[in-house]
Structure 1
């Protein structure tokens, strides 16, 4: 999407932000050279319209690309010409000599018996935790919930299962439903001052069966609840900086 302001051409786009996090989202995009144009605040999320000047493509770049193509064509022509001289190559070994060599090798008894495969007792951990995965431990301590490290981790471990202590930082109705919610989940204990780690989210779930409670199930759950989560990695949503998870087990702590 493009726009013009005088002689400057802009590219614009719209990104989403969780209610209450518009300022942090705008700051993240501003650090990448984007300018906030407008904010459309909704009940659950907000839409931020941002823009930045389009980079000018120098004509010299096109000339360089043409030169590279010409060089590649010349290399291919030379390689095809060299393949035509294969008639001077040495003849391959005759089938009879190959068979004799093979028979001689097979007839020689082996002095060393084949070694038995060494069994391994190590097994990959069932769940990714901060104790067995330093990468995940560093992720839970991040102060930038839009860090590119989060996107890289989500992509590398998609479909895997994570386990961590966390809390519910926000709880909104999903599309106006009365029993379906979007849970914003943070790492560690709930605090009104700081919220380290990614902005995890359970999207479109109810507070009972979908959370798969283990142990004693609380009478109610909401913002500020400190819980233990086991969840499957879905994907990282770069437009909103949300790290989507699917609940596997939830327990009160």
Structure 2
């Protein structure tokens, strides 16, 4: 009798309107759609695909490893008494010499690199968000020094347009504050060639669609500032409703 097929399963949630994109991507990876349950704001998609059999060579290797591991444990047990006495002696010597622990603590520079930049903890960023000139050299200075770091600010969508000929990929123009298309201060932040899923929407009420005027708390990675376009490019990390 033929061997019974064993499946692995995956369930994902998508923002309404992006179902086709997610289904196509997973099908390319060998997943089969078995159920699609649409909701008010999100759809739940269930997939399955046959599990790959464990290669015989890998099974034999694992067995050999277990044998070796058993031998090593036996040898370690036999030497444990002498090892414990030596370790205690080494610890006493280290304490007497006053040498620092091997565990390192992050430097001030390392801590600064991982800190999320906000208007509350970074006066330079706070001032940048209030500048009336989107082409101000302060944009280039800030982008150059902080490229790759994470920033967070309350803002709104100034403009949203399809990217090229795509129907589900967009270019977003963002601004600080709540004024949407009427934003008059701060850099012209841009998300280029992203879909709704890339925004990583979070919050109590996740919208089915987004558009100009919608307000969010944006968290993003600093990209480059293109002075010839007066555009400050960012990469989305998360987008929280507010």
TM-score (norm 1): 0.51
Q: Counterpart in 2 of 1:190?
A: 179
The list of structure 1 runs, each at least 4 consecutive aligned residues, that deviate by more than 6 angstroms after superposition, is 113-117, 119-122
* Consecutive unaligned residues in structure 2, runs of 5 or more: 1-96
Compute the displacement of 1:153 (Å). 0.4
Q: Which has the larger radius of gyration?
A: 1
Q: Counterpart in 2 of 1:211?
A: 199
Alpha-carbon spacing, 1:156–1:121, altered in 2? closer, same or farther (3 Å): closer
Alpha-carbon spacing, 1:248–1:116, altered in 2? closer, same or farther (3 Å): same
Q: Counterpart in 1 of 2:25?
A: none
Distance 2:228 2:120 in 1: 30
Greater percentage in helix: 2
Compute the displacement of 1:121 (Å). 9.8
Aligned-residue Cα RMSD (Å) equals 2.3
* CA deviation map 1:43-89 (0-9, x unaligned): xxxxxxxxxxxxxxxxxxxxxxxxxxxxxxxxxxxxxxxxxxxxxxx
Distance 1:172 1:120 in 2: 43
**Do the aligned partners of 1:187 and 1:197 also contact (CA within 8 Å) in 2?**
yes
**Do the aligned partners of 1:139 and 1:150 also contact (CA within 8 Å) in 2?**
yes
Q: Counterpart in 1 of 2:143?
A: 154
Alpha-carbon spacing, 1:121–1:158, altered in 2? closer, same or farther (3 Å): closer
Distance 1:116 1:178 in 2: 59
Distance 1:219 1:172 in 2: 17
* Consecutive unaligned residues in structure 1, runs of 5 or more: 1-112
* 1:225 maps to which of 201, 214, 217: 214
Alpha-carbon spacing, 1:178–1:191, altered in 2? closer, same or farther (3 Å): closer
Distance 1:211 1:193 in 2: 22
Q: Counterpart in 1 of 2:227?
A: 238
1:169 aligns with 2:182: no
